[in-house]
Structure formats: C-alpha cells, structure tokens
Amino acid sequence: MPTGTGSATDLGVDVAAILDDAREMVACESPSTDLAAVARSADVVARVGERRLGVAPERIVLDGRTHLRWRLGAGPSRVLLLGHHDTVWPIGSLLTHPCTVEGGVMRGPGSLDMKVGLALAFHAAAGRDGVTVLVTGDEELGSPSSRGLVEDEAWLAEAVLVLEAAADGGALKVERKGVSLYDVRLAGRAAHAGLEPERGVNATLELAAQVQAVAALADPAAGTTVTPTVARAGTTTNTVPASGSFAVDVRVRTLAEQERVDAAVRALRPALPGAGVEVHGGPNRPPLEAAASADLLARAQVVAERLGLPPLTAAAVGGASDGNFTAGVGTPTLDGLGAIGGGAHADDEHVLLDPLPGRAALLRALVADLLAAPTNPAPAARGARP
C-alpha cells in the first residue's frame, strides 16, 4: 500500500486537521434522496470549507438540492476540484456504523465516498487563487440537477481533479465507462388466454424477442456491456399480455460505442405483427476515455516522484462519476485523487490513514503545478461548448 517516504510533517500535511474536518462532515448524514438531510449536510460542508478556505461558498439550490461552489481569487478559474457531499447511506446509519478512527483506519458512512476527499480538496485549495471547489448534492443519483453546473464549471477550467476515492492500491482512475439507461416498452393486444389466444398479440413474446436483440448489441472485445435488467409483462395469468417493458443498462469505454448502441436501440422494430415498441431514455454519462486523463496522469506522476512518493499507478473502472461529464465537455480530467481505502457503499467502508499524508501532499502539489503551467487552452480558444 502506498505510504510515501516522509512523515506528515516532512510533507507539510496536517493530518489531524484533515481528519477533524472529515469527521465533522461524516457526522452529518446526507442520503441523496432526503432533501432536508442534504441541506443540513451542505451547512456543515460550507462551515468546514469556509474555515479552511477563508470565504463562504455560493449556495446553489437546484430542484431542491443544495450544491456549494467556492471560486478562489479574483482572476479566472483554472483548476476545478470536484466532489459531492451526498451519500447512499440512510438516516440512522451512524447508529450501526459509527464514525471511528482507530488502528490506522477511519470508518463511517460516506467516509471513503467521499467526505475525506472533500477534506483533502479544502486543504489543497487553501490559499490558492484560480481554483474552484465544487461540491454537489446529488451525484449518487446520477447528478440530475447538478450535471449542467458541473459541465459549466468544467468548461471554464483548464483541468479537473475529481476527489472520488482511489482505485485498488491507491491507483488513480484514468478511464471510466460511459452509461446509457433505457426503458423499452412493448405494446400488444389482450385476449382470453384460454378461449381465443389467437386474437391477441402477446407482449411477453415481443419482450422476449426484443431482449434477445438488445443483448446481442454487446461487444466484449470493445468492453461494451448491454444488459437487460428488470422486466415486466401482463396483468393476469389467463390473459394474453397487452403490454410489457424491460430496462437496459449499457456501459461503454468510448463515445463511438455509446453512439453505436444508442442508434441500434432506437432502431428496434416489432418482431410480431401488430406489436409496438417504444424506447425511452438514452445516454446518461459519456465515457471518461483514457486520452482525457493521459497528460494529467503524467504530470501527477512527476509530482509524486518529486515528493518522494511511491510511483503512481492508474486504473480503468466500470463505475461512473461526475468526471465523466467534465471529460465529456473536453476538459482534461483526472479522477480517483481522494482517499485510499475500500468498501464504498458497503458495511466495511473505510479509509486507510497511512497513505493520507502522501495523498494530501500530492493533491496540493499537483494543484500548484497546474496553476504554474497551463494544461489546456482557455475556453475561448476551444470554440463553442459542446
């Protein structure tokens, strides 16, 4: 496990302060679906951030969800530090999963995903001009209200650093699959299943045909998965089903694959005479392709070597984050810069404390490096936003 070669003091890191900040945020439960809880959490995150950054954030409430933004300095924002304060844990989780720090491990709901990451962001941005810290409140739901906000801030920046937890062994996340979600609805015609089934159009049979057609769109060699999931059809056991539906989960490594599958799903046509097919949904998050992270990864590796940290590794992961959105607008994006640990969304969610000084030092030094030398053209030079 990466630890760094120097002490926290050698690296200029106040680990105790980072842990205090993280504990304060973990202690305020913030399930994404509870608007009041997310608002309470935003108050706590705002207080912690103001204490470290010296200024209060802008509060941005969209569809009842509270997001926070700090724009530091009078000049244009050049580096975006991105995170979220909502979690998957329901109210009351602290009673069964209390926040503890012992034996070199921090535990607690949302500690790894991603309140320690927020604490790291505040400490890395402190005293910096040209940095924006954006903390959203609905990432775990797919960012329904904050997507536009995330994309707008990314478009203004030269680089985006995402404070999601690291991959196994502390690896940075340089590639994330894009996600598309579909609801395919089938229309048939009801008839009595015993007396005159031939007068009906069986939506279950249509569903079966369409499920097979959709599943065949997968391409394992390209890393594309197309998975029919929840399916429903019919109303009673003695009636030819008049309707049905099934959900589809698509994961892709490239935008070209996402577009190919989307076109094919939308081109579905009925297999049975008299049946109907409607497709709802579509791409939810674009892929974070490796090319979007390559330059930032190389810079981070140089910074880590300069600090005397172990060599940085990189990983491709299947899960999505708001980094998919920032890469989608063309801004270089490096993900997984948050805490190192395991068990995100699970009973054993935890953060390892030994690597924390190195992680904090890496993030702060990388921000400084990016502010010293541009990595991406100014927004105006990139043309109109996609």
Active site residues: 86, 139
> Strands across the sheet with 350-352, in order?
100-102, 105-107, 350-352, 341-342
At 346 the three-state DSSP class reads coil
Q: Tell me the two tokens of residue 121.
A: 């962001």
Contact yes or no for 186/207 (Cβ under 8 A): yes
Question: Beta strand pairing status for 79-84 and 341-342?
Answer: unpaired
Using alpha carbons, select from 344, 360, 354 the residue that is nearest to residue 112: 344
Burial 262-285 (b: 16+ CB within 10 A, else e): beebeebebbbeebbbebeeebbb
Contact yes or no for 87/31 (Cβ under 8 A): yes
Q: Which neighbouring-strand residues pair with 228?
A: 248
Cα 103 to Cα 229: distance, rounded to the nearest angstrom: 41
Q: What is the dihedral of CA 321, 325, 331, 333, to 10 degrees?
A: 10
Cα 352 to Cα 254: distance, rounded to the nearest angstrom: 33
Contact yes or no for 341/112 (Cβ under 8 A): yes
Q: Tell me the two tokens of residue 92.
A: 């009351």
Backbone conformation region of residue 257, classed left if phi is above 0, alpha if psi is from -120 to 50, else beta? alpha
Backbone conformation region of residue 223, classed left if phi is above 0, alpha if psi is from -120 to 50, else beta? left
Tokens 């390559």 belong to residue: 294
Backbone φ and ψ of 150, nearest 5°: -60, -45
